[in-house]
């Protein structure tokens, strides 16, 4: 099995209007030649316009969440099929801001993963421990438990990735040490092999949480780190490009 193709994905979260499309265009214009696949996940309102703007470029557009059902009376929600129709190729699922702020459980995340696969979207499935869980020595158990609970067997044979995002590192400027990142990524890889057999060696395991141009090279070259899921530093093309080029 060859090493996973790295993926660098930007999660714009609830940021961006039409005026921000220039940042995505600047990334597309300048990111060429790197080893990584590159994606930007803007808010749902921008998916269609960003997909049109980036058509023909190497930068893929992704979504940040989906509803598991295909259609129906779910006011305010967006289905995986709708995201694909708007031009999304990937979707972030189980982000800690959804798990904490919207009560998303592993079981719900797993149903959303199945919905994404049904719509032909590539899921990026997020896991990560809180600071209290890390301090209690539970980080490995919590995260590998989230992996087991959030990844349905339907992923076999499909394209997907896992993103390890320690909750306490998101938007804080704090990052785990390189050896803490490696320890977690190795444990996630072992869990993926346990769940999917030899195929579990294929998906990239991204790191997310305060990745910026100045720390990207060290993080991206750590063992079993197959890319990054980038929040704040993905909003500005120059910062995001600095991370892409660090690989």
Among 94, 176, 208, 227, binds ligand 13P (CB under 6 A): 208
- The verdict on 16 binding ligand 13P (CB under 6 A) reads no
- The verdict on 231 binding ligand 13P (CB under 6 A) reads yes
Q: Which two tokens stand for residue 189?
A: 């890889």
Position closest to ligand 13P via CB:
231
Site stretch for ligand 13P (CB under 6 A), options 66-74, 130-138, 147-155, 207-215: 207-215
> CA-CA distance, 139 to 44, in Å (whole number)?
32
Among 116, 188, 210, 244, binds ligand 13P (CB under 6 A): 210
Nearest CB to ligand 13P, comparing residues 81 and 237: 237
Among 147, 219, 230, 244, binds ligand 13P (CB under 6 A): 230
Least distance (Å) from ligand 13P to the CB of residue 109? Answer: 14
**190, burial (CB in 10 Å: exposed 0-12, middle 13-18, buried 19+):** middle
94, 129 contact by CB (below 8 A): no
User: Given the structure tokens 């994606």, which residue do they identify?
Assistant: 39
Q: Which two tokens stand for residue 228?
A: 């990054």
C-alpha to C-alpha distances, 17 to 14, 42, 172, 237, nearest whole angstrom:
10, 9, 24, 15
> Which residue from 2, 54, 4, 34 is spatially nearest to 216, judged by alpha carbons?
34
Per-residue binder mask for ligand 13P (CB under 6 A), 81-100, x = binder = --------------x-----
Least distance (Å) from ligand 13P to the CB of residue 11? Answer: 4
Per-residue binder mask for ligand 13P (CB under 6 A), 154-183, x = binder = -----------x----xx------------
Nearest CB to ligand 13P, comparing residues 84 and 206: 206
- The verdict on 239 binding ligand 13P (CB under 6 A) reads no
Site stretch for ligand 13P (CB under 6 A), options 46-54, 76-84, 144-152, 230-238: 230-238
The angle formed by the CA atoms of residues 179, 7 and 182, to the nearest 5 degrees, is 10
- Is 70 one of the annotated active-site residues of the chain? no
- The verdict on 211 binding ligand 13P (CB under 6 A) reads yes
- β-strands 37-41, 90-93 pairing: unpaired
Q: In angstroms, how far apart are the furthest CA atoms of the chain?
A: 48
- Is 95 one of the annotated active-site residues of the chain? yes
Among 117, 202, 232, 237, binds ligand 13P (CB under 6 A): 232
The count of residues in the chain is 247
> Which residue from 200, 204, 166 is spatially nearest to 37, judged by alpha carbons?
204
**96, burial (CB in 10 Å: exposed 0-12, middle 13-18, buried 19+):** buried
User: Given the structure tokens 């996630």, which residue do they identify?
Assistant: 188
Q: Which residues are catalytic?
A: 95, 165
Binding site for ligand 13P (CB under 6 A): 11, 95, 165, 170-171, 208-211, 229-233
């Amino acid at each position: 099995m060859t090493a996973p193709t790295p993926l660098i994905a930007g999660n714009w979260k609830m940021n961006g209007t039409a005026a921000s499309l220039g940042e995505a265009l600047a990334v597309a214009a300048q990111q060429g030649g790197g080893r990584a696949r590159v994606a930007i996940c803007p808010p749902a309102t921008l998916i269609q316009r960003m997909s049109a703007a980036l058509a023909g470029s190497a930068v893929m557009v992704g979504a940040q969440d989906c509803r598991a059902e295909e259609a129906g009376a779910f006011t305010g929600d967006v289905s995986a099929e709708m995201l694909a129709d708007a031009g999304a190729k990937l979707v972030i699922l189980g982000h800690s801001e959804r798990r904490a702020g919207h009560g998303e459980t592993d079981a719900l995340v797993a149903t959303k993963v199945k919905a994404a696969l049904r719509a032909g979207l590539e899921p990026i499935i997020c896991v990560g421990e809180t600071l209290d869980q890390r301090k209690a020595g539970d980080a490995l158990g919590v995260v590998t438990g989230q992996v087991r609970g959030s990844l349905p067997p339907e992923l076999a044979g499909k394209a997907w990735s896992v993103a390890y995002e320690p909750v306490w590192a998101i938007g804080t400027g704090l990052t785990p040490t390189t050896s803490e990142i490696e320890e977690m990524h190795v444990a996630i890889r072992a869990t993926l092999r346990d769940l999917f057999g030899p195929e579990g060696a294929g998906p990239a395991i991204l790191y997310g949480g305060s990745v910026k141009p100045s720390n990207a090279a060290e993080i991206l070259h750590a063992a079993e780190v197959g890319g990054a899921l980038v929040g704040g530093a993905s909003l500005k093309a120059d910062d995001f490009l600095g991370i892409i080029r660090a690989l």
